[in-house]
A and B are shown apart, each in its own frame.
Chain A
Amino acid sequence: GAGVSQSPRYKVAKRGQDVALRCDPISGHVSLFWYQQALGQGPEFLTYFQNEAQLDKSGLPSDRFFAERPEGSVSTLKIQRTQQEDSAVYLCASSYTGVKYEQYFGPGTRLTVT
């Protein structure tokens, strides 16, 4: 069956540009997670959705980062006024519900800010 998909796979942005990263979770999965993975590091939690509700956004690094999941399915992570330190791979994962169930990860979007 279809897994988690993310688009675009690669994004190059000039410093100061806004970007939008899309995540299509597995159909029927209630939970959706966003992570940021810097080179040589483990994924770092950004935010969590349960259906359309954003229940934890404690990992968002600044108010330039914004995520939404308006219909409880597709999610978008938006970064405004990108900075070089935003360069990373952004991973999306979905699970049946909550952290107890296996998280299925997408391939990630590699963002490079020049």
Chain B
Amino acid sequence: EPEVTQTPSHQVTQMGQEVILRCVPISNHLYFYWYRQILGQKVEFLVSFYNNEISEKSEIFDDQFSVERPDGSNFTLKIRSTKLEDSAMYFCASRDLWGTGELFFGEGSRLTVL
């Protein structure tokens, strides 16, 4: 069964360092998303992406964040200068153009900022 894959599964970084989280969405999907979940809190929307541009972003997604689809398969989230409060599980999701609108999520990348 097709699935969304994310790497790395866990990354530990020092405050102020740049981090890139990678995602391979399901192959025929055209809408891509990043969400995050701080430990013990709700899953929160960060950004949606379609046709090589950001469609919508939340108030969390400030200038420190960026997304890119560098090739036909990868979708990346970059955090330019990490802060302690960026520590969270980051989820990538995708869905197809037609169909039910169901979102499919990856297993997540756990980011720990020290």
Q: Do A and B bind each other?
A: no
Query: Chain B residues in contact with chain A, CB under 8 A?
Result: none
